[in-house]
Amino acid sequence: MTEVSSLTGRLLVATPALADPNFDRAVVLLLDHDEEGSLGVVLNRPTPVGVSDILEGWAGLTGEPGVVFQGGPVSLDSALGVAVIPGDSSGDRGPLGWRRVHGAIGLIDLEAPPELLASVLGSLRIFAGYAGWGPGQLEDELVEGAWYVVESEPGDVSSPAPERLWREVLRRQRSELAMVATYADDPSLN
């Protein structure tokens, strides 16, 4: 088996050619990527469900919009908390109840008391479900051209306008990918 170079902490941005409706114009933050597979959350799929409806204690700590996001098509009955903790993102372990994923981005233990993390949170999003790939599956999709892989920024997790995130992430790229941001929603209307 070939060695897998970790993409943990990077963004997968759906190409216009990706045919899976679950990932149409999706921006996925990879939370884990190794030889055993990959796991991430879709950052730009808000639902109408308020965080207060399912995790009342965490509701006051989430940014706008204060709703649960659909993290992907897998395990929609489970919740993940992704948070940015400002400060030194390289060396320290971070606060109790938070596990670093990449830089200042990490996972929150939603079983922990919210007040344990309230004073250190920069931003927090709650996701129902996740996107998952088995061993080699994501690599195959990358070879097929289904995804662009780009660097994440801590602000991507808490974008106040998630419906614009796909275009914004592409637009900030310093390559021909910036042009893809202008791709029409429905190319047949051109």
Q: pLDDT by residue (tens digit) across 128-151?
A: 999 999 999 999 999 999 999 999
Tokens standing for residue 115: 């007040």
pTM greater than 0.95 (yes/no) = no
Q: Which helix (H) or strand (E) holds 167?
A: helix 165-171
CA–CA gap between residue 149 and residue 129 (Å, rounded): 21
Tokens standing for residue 66: 């204060």
Please count the other Cβ atoms lying within 10 Å of the Cβ belonging to residue 128: 20
Partnered with residue 84 across adjacent β-strands are 105, 123
Placement of tokens 């994501």 in the chain = 138
Q: pLDDT by residue (tens digit) across 97-129?
A: 999 999 999 999 999 999 999 999 999 999 999
The CA-based angle 59-132-16, given to 5 degrees, is 95
pLDDT at residue 3 in the model? 45
Ramachandran region, residue 52 (left: φ > 0; alpha: ψ -120 to 50; beta: rest): alpha
